[in-house]
A and B are shown apart, each in its own frame.
Chain A
């Protein structure tokens, strides 16, 4: 599903040059649940952004679902992103729309047939246990609910790959546990999951294959 080969990423030039990733290589098979662990600034977010082509690597190859991501033409990027669900630390819900509308909006902008939108949005809400809050606005949600809504939005388009960037970073332990349960359920439905976190205890509790990033380098691949 994911293949990185000697990937490096630097930002800027001259004295301000910063190396975010250096010689990173690994593969993730289809259906795998992999944790990307490292402290803040280790390069986790940059690595995820390379996968959904928000950035291009300075060197090396990146492949997602057989697609050569850096070589992807600009107009083909939406096609790649439709196969990837993305969840961020801040839920990034749209303020003026209800939870249901946030999900329906995503389905509409990617051209989902109108009659499929409502059932798919409600199926996603059910999968994250948020059906009862469908008509609530983001300001009316707890942080855990907002993150669940964000997960529902990510899975509503049935992605092959779920990228979660610090999805529990803003949550207390109990809420974090609930979110991880939801992500585990999504993975068990067959979606490949790559979860980035700086929380060592959380990474350990998942007991999944873990990639350790330090200062942009992959220092350990265990599990």
Chain B
């Protein structure tokens, strides 16, 4: 019976003709657009998580503490709320880091009459404190310490990246929803045409004693098949686009966002996309069925 239902659904799909093809194309477009925004959002999300882990607050000290007092000072900072890790950077270490970063120009540093860099502490906030409000509070607590001259760093720009990510996510959902609506309407039209073409067949089926499930399931399956086909084409297009574009944009991603590679949808996400397509198609089929049987 299952093979019969499947073959009837395939027959209906052929009957749907150009309208059926349009429905598949629209589902491809809607899920393709959704997939594009999803990919952008995924990559931004990864950058945001990565940068959240890298958020540091740097407190510059008025004077470099004596070696014996460093541990005590670090322990006091470590005890502050929202602090995960503390690293003391001496003036000498800061100068050596500066030299390393200057590379071939490092000799410029040797020309200086004395080391101009202050000692500092690099504070890594706890994950809960790695937010604009969290780092602002932490900065205030650090600034209140008598040894601290100035505090720099925060999570504002990471949050603005996160806002971009949310914007992409919402735009993707919005565009996807509009296109999905168009796709559902096209599947509904295609299925209504098929139902019109099948009315004699359905009458015969009823008269000879076919159950309602046998009469109606092919319509639903046909809609699902359209949706699944559309989603599969969209997925193939996304894979192809990612394969071609990723190597070209990865250097830019590394430079701007610090991402080593452009991530793609995971297997469960791909299954979700395909399932979404099948559900879109099924919904179109259901609506057409309701309209035809009404």
Interface residues of A (CB under 8 A from B): 52, 54, 75, 77-84, 86, 92, 94-95, 105-106, 108-111, 153, 157
Q: Mark B200-219, 1 if CB is under 8 A from A, else 0.
A: 11011111111110110000
Number of interface residues of B (CB under 8 A): 16
In the complex, how many angstroms separate the beta carbon of B7 from the nearest chain A beta carbon?
9
A94 lies within 8 A of B201 (CB) = yes
Question: What chain B residues lie within 8 Å of A92 (beta carbons)?
Answer: 200, 203-204
CA distance A78 to B203 in the complex (A): 12
CA distance A86 to B207 in the complex (A): 8
CA distance A106 to B201 in the complex (A): 10
A81 lies within 8 A of B4 (CB) = no
Residue B75, interface by CB 8 Å: no
Most buried by A among B203, B207, B211: B207
Residue B1, interface by CB 8 Å: yes
CA distance A59 to B1 in the complex (A): 39
Known: A77-B209, A81-B206. 16 other contacts (CB 8 A): A54-B207, A78-B209, A78-B212, A81-B208, A82-B208, A86-B207, A92-B200, A92-B203, A92-B204, A94-B204, A105-B201, A108-B4, A109-B4, A153-B208, A157-B208, A157-B209
A110 lies within 8 A of B209 (CB) = yes
Question: What chain B residues lie within 8 Å of A81 (beta carbons)?
Answer: 206-209
CB within 8 A of A106: which of B200, B203, B208, B212? B208
CB within 8 A of A109: which of B200, B203, B214? B214
Q: Provide 29 A-B residue pairs closer than 8 Å at the C-beta atoms, listed in order of the A residue.
A: A54-B207, A75-B211, A78-B210, A78-B212, A81-B206, A81-B207, A82-B208, A82-B209, A83-B209, A86-B207, A86-B208, A92-B200, A94-B200, A94-B204, A95-B200, A105-B201, A106-B204, A106-B208, A109-B4, A109-B205, A109-B208, A109-B210, A109-B214, A110-B208, A110-B210, A111-B214, A153-B208, A157-B208, A157-B209
In the complex, how many angstroms separate the beta carbon of A161 from the nearest chain B beta carbon?
12
CA distance A94 to B201 in the complex (A): 7
Nearest first, the 6 closest Cβ-Cβ pairs linking A and B are A82-B209, A81-B209, A109-B210, A78-B209, A106-B208, A108-B4
A78 lies within 8 A of B211 (CB) = yes
Residue on B nearest A157 in the bound complex, by CB:
B208
Chief secondary structure at chain B's binding surface: helix
Question: What chain A residues lie within 8 Å of B215 (beta carbons)?
Answer: 109
Residue on B nearest A107 in the bound complex, by CB:
B208
Question: What chain A residues lie within 8 Å of B214 (beta carbons)?
Answer: 109, 111
Question: What chain B residues lie within 8 Å of A54 (beta carbons)?
Answer: 207
CA distance A81 to B204 in the complex (A): 11
Question: What chain A residues lie within 8 Å of B211 (beta carbons)?
Answer: 75, 78
Most buried by B among A77, A92, A108, A110: A108
Question: What chain B residues lie within 8 Å of A75 (beta carbons)?
Answer: 211-212
Question: What chain B residues lie within 8 Å of A78 (beta carbons)?
Answer: 209-212
Residue on B nearest A86 in the bound complex, by CB:
B207
In the complex, how many angstroms separate the beta carbon of B14 from the nearest chain A beta carbon?
10
Interface residues of B in 160-209 (CB under 8 A from A): 200-201, 203-209
Question: What chain B residues lie within 8 Å of A106 (beta carbons)?
Answer: 204, 208
Question: What chain A residues lie within 8 Å of B4 (beta carbons)?
Answer: 108-109
